[in-house]
Copies of this chain bind each other. A is one copy, B any other.
Amino acid sequence: MGNVRARVTGDGVVIEGLRGAPLVLAGPSLRSACSCAACRDPGSGQNLLDPALIDPAIVPTSVAIDVDGALVAVWPDGHESRHARAWLDARTESGVPRPLLWDAMLQDTLPHHDHDAARADPAALYRFLADVRDRGFAILGGVPCRDAEVERAAELFWYVRETNYGRHFDVLVKPDPNNLAYTARALPGHTDNPYAEPVPGLQLLHCLAQSDEGGDNTLADGFAAAERLRREDRAAFDVLARVPVAYRFSDAGADLRSERPVIQCDRVGRVTVVHVNDRSFRGPVGPAAEARAFYAAYRRFIGLVRDPAAMVRIKLAPGDLLVMDNRRTLHGRAAYEAGRGLRHLQGCYADAGGLASKLRVLARELGYGHADTGLPGADRERDAAEHLLGILARRGDESYLGEPISQLEHALQAAHAAELAGAPMPLVVAALFHDVGHFLHDLPEDCAEQGLDSRHEDAGGAVLARTFGPEVAEPVRLHVDAKRYLASAEPWYLGVLSEASILSLRLQGGPFDDVARAAFKARPHAEAAIALRRWDDAAKVPGAATPGLNHYRPMVLATARAG
């Protein structure tokens, strides 16, 4: 349990020895959190102790950490409360999942999932929904092309939210449309229905038929654009986060109006909501003096969300279902010719809280103890894994150390070879990331030719160890030593090495001597490193077919979680 200590102060309780700074809990907060059967109904989990009746000045008469690491507090009336170590840990750091911001670079690793798998396998469903939560969207392929199937998809996680557009709505060219969505016009990126109260939290779009030309969807990350605006023009950000915009939709049966700022932040300043809808926009609300500043800020923000460098393009195929966080992800579409093949999408809305709830319930059922239960770590690891994938996606096109293929091709070929060899998942992930250290130093690409060793294996191993277990990090850390081992143990090995690799071998110290060879062989993970080395050496075939980076994403995330 470590050396955890608790003591009573004038205001409450201080607990030291947990991760990070000492945890300070106010007396009434601790008292109201008691979950014993007298304070919280065992059947419903609801409070029986009314928080309004707690003395705001209450402090325990004594506290202690018991043998299980739980905090035991005794209160002035003799009541005893007990808080498990996990509960204390969860309070040391915010458990709120952080969004993973993205831009056009995501194009190569669009979060794509399989409908049948998501329906059959709770872990697959979890990964799909977690992408919606963290990326603001995900695509489910292979959804049956049946009417109202989009409603069944919503029921994978929650309930359909019926609106004035129906339980679901058809997006196609309609006569006398009550909404420009029902024309063949291009639609710039937007979020849906900011005039509604409440605004739909999630939108689902199911492709039943696609036009031959045009009709592509564009997506942009409203949170990323807002953060960019905050960095580049703080005053403009503040105007958009302060001035409400009036929105209105009106037809024969409805007259919906609301006023909302374009950007909303939570109490610590994190962007939590973005609304953009030019069609129902009715102008900023408030003094005229702010209006001009608003329009300038708005124009700048819209420029950011419509920047091609911020957007990914998706041409939905029949059976594809796009699920979006409607208060974050802007979706638009290219114009299409109404005659050239009937484009037909069906959409519906659902509540954001339902998706978050389903993720928690799935995590509970799957035993993902640390996944979104408020315990720290899970999201940081996931975030880091996404970061590593992003590095490969962004920098993967760089040439690979004088080899005739790119870094990304090399990584994918190595991972593919590992997968074909039936390697365990962590080793496939290791193969994918074995050269990630190359992106972590500032030496020039041709450093080997200049006689410099970047020690990329150490850098890569260290960064991977932050996110994954040793099954991933150690083979990477050892994969250069494995070359030195093989060059010593297998005389024919030098024959499989490329010219560049022979050059770097010299910089890396050359083949091991007998002592070093035996010492290496005895190290944990040496066998895995040797296997990885062989896939590495073979992964230099120009034009070889491999799965895309996206294929490895679920493995990477699952491995990070279990790490």
Contacts and interface: CB of A to CB of B under 8 A. Distances in A.
Interface of A: 11-12, 24-29, 32-33, 41, 43-47, 50-57, 159-164, 176-180, 188, 195-198, 201, 242, 244, 248-251, 253-258, 267, 278-289, 291-296, 298-299, 302-303, 351-354, 356-357, 360-361, 364
Given A11-B292, A256-B357, A291-B29, A176 B43 contact: yes
A281 B47 contact: yes
A286 B196 CA distance: 31
A53 B352 CA distance: 31
Contact of A45 (B44, B250, B283): B250
A160 to B, nearest CB: 7
Contacts of A177: 43-44
Contact of A361 (B45, B162, B255): B255
Contact of A24 (B12, B288, B352): B288
A288 B15 CA distance: 13
Contact of A282 (B33, B161, B356): B33
A402 B57 CA distance: 53
Indicate how many identical chains form the complex. 2
A267 B288 contact: no
Contacts of A178: 43-44
5 contacts: A46-B249, A52-B303, A55-B295, A57-B292, A254-B357
Nearest to A290: B26
A295 B33 CA distance: 13
B244 A295 contact: no
Nearest to A179: B44
Nearest to A182: B44
A278 B24 contact: no
B26 A288 contact: yes
Nearest to A159: B162
A161 B161 CA distance: 6
A278 B40 CA distance: 11
A559 to B, nearest CB: 25
Given A179-B46, A198-B201, A25 B361 contact: no
Contacts of A248: 45
B26 A291 contact: yes
A46 B280 contact: yes
